[in-house]
């Protein structure tokens, strides 16, 4: 077996044939296990890798994937172990692990030629971008970046070895491909240029360097670094350098070599390049950008919130550079008049006490000390002295031509010519590596074990290095799970930083206190109010909520100041959308604590809720119009804020506000397929004391009752609806259309009285209400097998939903019309209708209905015999389904998939799929239908395999379950399959009767199903027209309380 990860994920069997691994998460499971081939990967790590922050709704989702993977690879290849799974494959049978093995072998190989062969062999394993088809999965992105960087470094290593060993052409093609993929990678450009030059291709070498220079200028707005500039100068002077190229900055930190002689600017400043005490984790891209900026600009300021690693990245830059540098630590200073003296001391001027008041004499001595020197001056921690630092930097840069300045600050200096490098969060992989590295330093042998817990912990800490390091220090006394659980009290938890650290870096609270104390009073007021927001919002929202009472200045100016001071993050909009603003979670928690200490918390929460309602309530009716998509975008943009406001209202027992917020959200959730969320939220709000009786309360109580009915809990629906109807007498009209439908729907489905629905559908009122009433009438008619009434009312609903522009209602109706076309035998018209329904549902982003619609289309395609297209349609349905709970009934997708495979002549594959869904499932809607269809499908497969004796008991069970479900379409489907069995067993009379039962229960035979048509034709051929008609008539006359078993009950007893 050979597993490929270095390109599109695939697996070759022992015979060399490719094994089909269908489905995004199934391939993801294979890849994640393969990355640790031969070792156990715990289940939590696998769940986090495949589902990330949104764990699967069903607890056995991972087990289902494992079962499917075993079917593909073989039952012995995926081995269950304590707490996880192991892929029973040797590591050298996974290309990514073989690549690492060969590269490590090259590093330890004394023979230069053999080392080059090993590197070339490693690079030959690559077939494209790693994990190319898995980038949607949480784990894939960081792993792919790491693998791609390893490939690039290996290519550079091969080129460097070739230059050193007299084989300059080694790896030229691979190095060229690396540079194509990473056009800003200067180390690759230098390696390629030197190799080309050494092979006599000087012009090509210059072109490589010039293209890289152009890319750096175009993409980053910077000049190349010193290594590339030096390489270009060599080429221009035609003096090839055959030294190996230095490793890329994305690799492991390298020791800075000692130079042979003195450089201009050497002297006291050299003492500031001290060795690192901890490893430098992550930030490879930021480090590369900072090095590029320092090669192009005279003033660079690294900005970011406290604890983001500004000082650490500067230390790393200094460690990797060989120019003269001096570091002035400004944190201990208390006044701007101390800055010049501190800098003079740092650059090696005449000894001065830092406390000296640096007047013009100090500045003159500083200029004199720097005159004629080429020096990088680092000014660390400028934010509390930013005005004085800015003035000094401007003066020195103007006066000293050889000076460059690298500053760290929580806000820019604001000096002309300043280039900024804002530091953001570490990505998930970098953050986890940092945590693990620091934890291992305090607990030797630390094993993160639950990778999911560490990842969640790092995300809760915003991916910020200092909080992560403080959390890692706690593993001496707490497990990672305990640390995560206590993060709601993070400021008490995250204390005890290094004793040698600055005081403001020893606790998380001190980090934020430092920034908070640097704010002006109006800025602090806006900051604490801003903490009320759950996520990113635009400036208008900030003004509406935080400016509801004067904060002491213009809210926009104060917001801009908070962004400048790294307390608020600005997220640029796309396609003309406004900029949005958010706080890191740590800063937000701090701000909320400050808000709670103030007298403003209650009214700010009220202003936040008012703002949410002001956005959502006026547009709620638009969710049932042609403006549906635009308004769904609005709903999504404030959904996080609305949910947070809803939680606050529930916690405070504010029933009326909670009902209004839920009512504003509910229809958007419904049409996007978020019924579980809606059911949970409606139950929570319904449990509040003094539940709302206004329009919003009436809507929510109605929706809750109907949702319960839809999930199989019909016991109290009529009473619940009646209670709502009793309470709405004095409410203003018109009522919400769902409330207006409540009484008619309740009477139709509990009393069988559709008169009110028919009146609504035929009236001249709200067209959406009329369309919905017609659709519900059609649903009842479908269940009774009254196709004429169903078709008539579906057409009414189709016309009205089309007029108002409701894609949700239209999609449901179009699907039902397609089913009628399918029953009538027009598969082409059915397929066209299903495609229309898919398009409408896709626009809404309704991933609950979309997989079902795609599967309907796949069934039609399979019955047409187009295997490739049907399977592609099923694959797309599986992608859409993801790991959401399967709608209506567990396992519907698997048995639907099984039927497609059966129709395509693959009954054994169909049985495998059915085997996954036989387990008992919890109570819910449609379980009787599930039971009936599952047994009927299994019986159909047995008939395909020529085993009618096995099909008979399955069909008996299916018939009894279908009868209990009182579902006409399911009864019809079971009766048709039973008829097929009876005909195969030589009983055309019974087959004809069963077809008659199918016609009565569903209103028609399924003429779009070739098997049903073949059964009908077989009965007619065996009996002739008159006897066939008589058998059909007997079947239609069978009472509806009789199950459509293959043999009549009396016949079964007599036998």
Number of neighbours of residue 145 by Cβ within 10 angstroms = 17
Triad 1048, 1051, 1055: Cα angle to 5°: 140
Q: Which one of 422, 440, 457 terminates a domain?
A: 422
Taking only the tens place, the pLDDT of each residue in 11-38 is 988 777 888 888 888 999 999 999 998 8
Cβ burial of 332 (10 Å; 0-12, 13-18, 19+) is: exposed
Packing angle, helices 827-844 and 850-863, rounded to 10 = 160
Q: How many domains does the chain have?
A: 6
Identify each DSSP E strand in 499-649 by its residue range: 537-538, 569-571, 580-582
Q: Which contiguous run of DSSP H or E holds residue 87?
A: strand 84-87
- For the segment 892-907, the average pLDDT, to the nearest whole number, is 87
377 and 433, same domain (yes or no)? no
529 and 608, same domain (yes or no)? no
Q: Which residue has the higher pLDDT, 571 or 1026?
A: 1026
**SS (HEC) of 664-731:** HHHHHHHHCCCHHHHHHHHHHHHCCCCCCCCHHHHHHHHHHHHHHHHCCCCCCHHHHHHHHHHHCCCC
Q: Which residue has the higher pLDDT, 1020 or 155?
A: 1020
| pLDDT attached to residue 940 | 95
- Asked if residue 855 lies in contact with residue 894, where contact means CB atoms within 8 angstroms, the answer is no
Cα separation of 628 and 895, whole Å? 34
The DSSP string of 829-898 is: HHHHHHHHHHHHHHHHT-TTTHHHHHHHHHHHHHHTT-HHHHHHHHHHHHHHHTTSPPSSSTTHHHHHHH
Number of neighbours of residue 113 by Cβ within 10 angstroms = 11
Taking only the tens place, the pLDDT of each residue in 106-159 is 877 778 888 888 888 888 898 888 998 888 888 888 888 888 888 888 888 888
3-class DSSP assignment, residue 184: coil
| pLDDT attached to residue 260 | 30
Packing angle, helices 968-984 and 1010-1036, rounded to 10 = 100
Q: Tell whether the model's pLDDT for residue 730 goes beyond 80.
A: no
| pLDDT attached to residue 890 | 57
| pLDDT attached to residue 489 | 66
Taking only the tens place, the pLDDT of each residue in 215-246 is 877 776 667 777 788 888 877 776 444 444 43
Tokens 């018209």 locate to 829
Cα separation of 597 and 125, whole Å? 61
Taking only the tens place, the pLDDT of each residue in 800-847 is 999 999 999 999 999 999 999 999 999 999 999 999 999 999 999 888
Which residue from 475, 494, 511 is spatially nearest to 310, judged by alpha carbons? 511
699 and 627, same domain (yes or no)? yes
Give the single-character DSSP code of 94.
B
3-class DSSP assignment, residue 62: helix
Does 785 map to a domain? no
634 and 561, same domain (yes or no)? no
Does 882 map to a domain? no
Does 191 map to a domain? no
3-class DSSP assignment, residue 380: strand
Q: Tell whether the model's pLDDT for residue 267 goes beyond 50.
A: no
Which residue from 513, 509, 551, 552 is spatially nearest to 530, judged by alpha carbons? 551
Q: Which residue has the higher pLDDT, 876 or 224?
A: 876
Mean pLDDT of the chain: 83
322 and 376, same domain (yes or no)? yes
Strand partners, 81: 84
- Give the strand order in the sheet containing 84-87: 40-42, 84-87, 78-81
| pLDDT attached to residue 989 | 96
Does 224 map to a domain? no
The DSSP string of 937-982 is: HHHHHHHHTT-HHHHHHHHHHHHHHHHHHT-HHHHHHHHHHHHHHH
- Asked if residue 199 lies in contact with residue 168, where contact means CB atoms within 8 angstroms, the answer is yes
| pLDDT attached to residue 268 | 32
Indicate the pairing of strand 375-380 with strand 403-409. Answer: parallel
- Rounded to an integer, what is the distance from CA 220 to the centroid of its chain? 28
* Domain range enclosing 1002: 939-1055
583 and 628, same domain (yes or no)? no
Cβ burial of 353 (10 Å; 0-12, 13-18, 19+) is: exposed
| pLDDT attached to residue 491 | 67
Q: How far is CA 337 from CA 359, 388, 408, 872, in A?
A: 7, 7, 19, 72
491 and 538, same domain (yes or no)? no
Q: Which residue has the higher pLDDT, 1007 or 169?
A: 1007
379 and 322, same domain (yes or no)? yes
The CATH number assigned to the domain holding 384 equals 3.40.50.300
Does 727 map to a domain? no
Does 747 map to a domain? no
Q: Tell whether the model's pLDDT for residue 254 goes beyond 50.
A: no
Cα separation of 806 and 834, whole Å? 17
- Asked if residue 215 lies in contact with residue 184, where contact means CB atoms within 8 angstroms, the answer is yes
438 and 526, same domain (yes or no)? no
21 and 148, same domain (yes or no)? yes
Taking only the tens place, the pLDDT of each residue in 426-466 is 888 888 888 887 788 777 877 777 678 888 888 888 787 87
Taking only the tens place, the pLDDT of each residue in 466-490 is 788 778 777 777 777 877 877 776 7
Q: Which residues contact 469 (CB under 8 A, 6 or more apart)?
A: 434, 435, 438, 497
Q: Tell whether the model's pLDDT for residue 764 goes beyond 50.
A: yes
- Asked if residue 8 lies in contact with residue 30, where contact means CB atoms within 8 angstroms, the answer is no
Q: Which residue has the higher pLDDT, 350 or 123?
A: 123
**Nearest-10 Cα torsion for 453, 457, 458, 459:** 100
Taking only the tens place, the pLDDT of each residue in 654-675 is 999 999 999 999 999 999 988 8
Q: 52 phi and psi, to 5 degrees?
A: 65, -135
| pLDDT attached to residue 1023 | 95
Give the single-character DSSP code of 252.
S
Q: Which one of 707, 741, 766 terminates a domain?
A: 707
Overall residue count recorded for the chain in this entry: 1055
The CATH number assigned to the domain holding 560 equals 1.10.10.10
Does 768 map to a domain? no
Cα separation of 553 and 532, whole Å? 19
| pLDDT attached to residue 258 | 30
Q: Which one of 467, 491, 509 terminates a domain?
A: 509
**SS (HEC) of 504-537:** HHCCHHHHHHHHHHCCCHHHHHHHHHHCCCCCCE
| pLDDT attached to residue 261 | 31
| pLDDT attached to residue 854 | 92
Cβ burial of 521 (10 Å; 0-12, 13-18, 19+) is: exposed
- Asked if residue 11 lies in contact with residue 73, where contact means CB atoms within 8 angstroms, the answer is yes
Does 375 map to a domain? yes
Cα separation of 224 and 298, whole Å? 14
Percent of the chain whose pLDDT exceeds 70: 88
| pLDDT attached to residue 999 | 96
603 and 634, same domain (yes or no)? yes
564 and 672, same domain (yes or no)? no
Q: Which residues contact 743 (CB under 8 A, 6 or more apart)?
A: 721, 725, 756
- Asked if residue 924 lies in contact with residue 889, where contact means CB atoms within 8 angstroms, the answer is yes
């Amino acid at each position: 077996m050979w597993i490929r990860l270095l390109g599109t994920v695939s697996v070759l069997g022992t015979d060399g044939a490719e094994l089909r691994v269908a489905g995004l998460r199934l391939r993801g499971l294979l890849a994640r296990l393969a990355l640790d081939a031969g070792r156990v990967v715990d289940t939590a790590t696998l769940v986090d890798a495949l589902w990330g922050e949104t764990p699967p709704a069903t607890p056995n989702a991972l087990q289902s994937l494992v079962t499917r993977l075993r079917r593909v690879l073989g039952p012995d290849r995926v081995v269950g172990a304590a707490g996880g799974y192991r892929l029973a494959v040797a590591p050298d049978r996974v290309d990514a692990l073989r690549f690492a093995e060969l590269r490590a072998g090259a590093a330890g190989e004394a023979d230069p030629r053999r080392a080059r062969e090993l590197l070339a062999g490693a690079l030959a394993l690559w077939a494209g971008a790693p994990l190319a088809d898995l980038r949607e999965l949480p784990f894939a992105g960081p792993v792919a970046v790491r693998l791609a960087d390893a490939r690039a470094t290996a290519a550079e290593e091969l080129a460097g070895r070739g230059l050193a060993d007299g084989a300059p052409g080694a790896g030229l093609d691979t190095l060229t491909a690396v540079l194509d993929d990473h056009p800003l990678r200067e180390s690759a450009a230098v390696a390629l240029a030197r190799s080309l030059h050494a092979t006599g291709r000087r012009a090509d070498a210059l072109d490589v360097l010039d293209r890289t220079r152009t890319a750096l200028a175009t993409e980053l707005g910077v000049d190349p670094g010193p290594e590339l500039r030096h390489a270009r100068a060599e080429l221009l002077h035609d003096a090839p350098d055959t030294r190996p190229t230095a490793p890329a900055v994305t690799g492991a930190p390298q020791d800075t070599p000692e130079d042979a002689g003195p450089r201009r600017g050497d002297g006291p400043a050299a003492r500031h390049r001290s060795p690192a005490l901890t490893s430098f984790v992550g930030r490879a891209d930021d480090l590369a950008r900072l090095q590029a900026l320092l090669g192009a600009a005279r003033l660079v300021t690294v900005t970011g919130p406290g604890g983001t690693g500004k000082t650490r990245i500067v230390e790393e830059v200094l460690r990797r550079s060989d120019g003269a540098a001096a570091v002035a630590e400004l944190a201990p200073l208390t006044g701007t008049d101390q800055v010049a003296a501190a800098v003079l001391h740092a650059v090696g001027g005449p000894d001065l006490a830092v406390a000296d008041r640096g007047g013009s004499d100090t500045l003159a001595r500083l200029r004199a000390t720097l005159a004629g020197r080429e020096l990088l001056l680092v000014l660390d921690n400028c934010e509390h002295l930013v005005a004085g630092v800015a003035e000094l930097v401007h003066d020195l840069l103007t006066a000293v031509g050889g000076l460059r300045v690298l500053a760290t600050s929580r806000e820019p200096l604001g000096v002309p010519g300043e280039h900024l490098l804002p530091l953001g969060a570490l990505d998930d992989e970098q953050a986890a590596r940092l945590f693990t590295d620091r934890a291992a330093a305090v607990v030797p042998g630390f094993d993160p074990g639950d990778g999911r817990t560490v990842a969640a912990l790092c995300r809760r800490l915003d991916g910020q290095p200092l909080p992560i390091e403080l959390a890692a220090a706690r593993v001496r006394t707490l497990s990672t799970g305990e640390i995560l659980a206590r993060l709601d009290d993070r400021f008490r938890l995250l204390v005890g930083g290094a004793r040698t650290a600055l005081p403001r870096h020893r606790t998380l609270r001190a980090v934020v206190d430092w920034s908070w104390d640097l704010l002006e009073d109006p800025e602090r007021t806006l900051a604490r109010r801003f903490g009320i927001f759950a996520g990113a919002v635009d400036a208008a929202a900030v003004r509406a909520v935080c400016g509801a009472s004067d904060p002491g200045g213009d809210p926009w100016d104060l917001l801009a100041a908070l962004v400048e001071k790294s307390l608020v993050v600005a997220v640029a909009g796309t396609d003309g959308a406004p900029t949005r603003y958010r706080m890191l979670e740590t800063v937000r928690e701090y701000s909320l604590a400050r808000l709670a200490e103030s007298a403003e918390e209650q009214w700010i929460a009220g202003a936040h809720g008012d703002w949410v309602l002001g956005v959502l309530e006026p547009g709620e009716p638009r969710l049932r119009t042609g403006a549906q998509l635009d308004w769904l975008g609005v709903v999504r943009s404030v959904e996080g804020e609305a949910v947070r406001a809803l939680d606050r209202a529930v916690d405070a027992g504010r029933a009326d506000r909670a009902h209004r917020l839920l009512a504003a959200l509910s229809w958007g959730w419904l049409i996007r397929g978020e019924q579980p969320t809606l059911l949970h939220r409606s139950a929570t709000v319904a449990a509040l004391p003094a539940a709302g009786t206004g329009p919003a309360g009436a809507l929510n109580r109605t929706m809750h009752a109907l949702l319960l009915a839809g999930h199989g809990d019909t016991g109290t629906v009529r009473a619940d609806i009646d209670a709502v109807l009793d309470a709405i007498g004095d409410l203003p009209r018109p009522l919400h259309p769902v409330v207006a439908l409540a009484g008619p729907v309740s009477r139709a489905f509990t009393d069988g009285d559709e008169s009110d629905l028919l009146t609504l559908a035929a009236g001249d009122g709200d067209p959406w209400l009329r369309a919905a009433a017609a659709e519900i009438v059609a649903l009842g008619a479908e269940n009774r097998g009254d196709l004429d009434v169903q078709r008539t009312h579906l057409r009414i609903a189709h016309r009205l939903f089309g007029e108002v522009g409701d894609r949700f209602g239209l999609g449901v109706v179009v699907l039902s019309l397609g089913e009628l076309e399918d029953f009538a035998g027009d598969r082409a018209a059915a397929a066209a209708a299903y495609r229309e329904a898919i398009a409408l549902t896709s626009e809404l982003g309704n991933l609950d209905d979309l997989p079902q619609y795609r599967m309907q289309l796949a069934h039609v395609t399979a019955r047409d015999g187009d295997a490739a297209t049907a399977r592609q349609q099923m694959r797309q349905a599986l992608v859409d389904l993801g790991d959401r709970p399967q709608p209506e009934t567990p396992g519907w997708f698997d048995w639907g998939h099984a039927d497609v495979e059966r129709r395509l002549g693959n009954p054994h594959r169909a049985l495998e799929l059915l085997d996954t869904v036989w387990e008992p499932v919890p109570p819910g809607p449609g379980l009787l239908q599930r039971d009936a269809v599952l047994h009927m499908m299994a019986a159909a497969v047995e008939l395909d395999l020529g085993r009618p004796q096995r099909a008979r008991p399955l069909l008996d069970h299916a018939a009894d379950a279908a009868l209990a479900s009182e579902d006409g379409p399911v009864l019809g489907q079971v009766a048709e399959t039973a008829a097929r069995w009876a005909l195969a067993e030589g009983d055309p009379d019974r087959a004809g009767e069963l077809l008659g039962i199918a016609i009565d229960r569903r209103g028609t035979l399924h003429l779009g199903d070739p098997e049903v048509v073949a059964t009908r034709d077989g009965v007619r051929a065996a009996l002739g027209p008159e006897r066939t008609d008589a058998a059909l008539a007997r079947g239609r006359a069978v009472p509806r309380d009789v199950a459509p078993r293959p043999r009549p009950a009396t016949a079964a007893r007599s036998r």
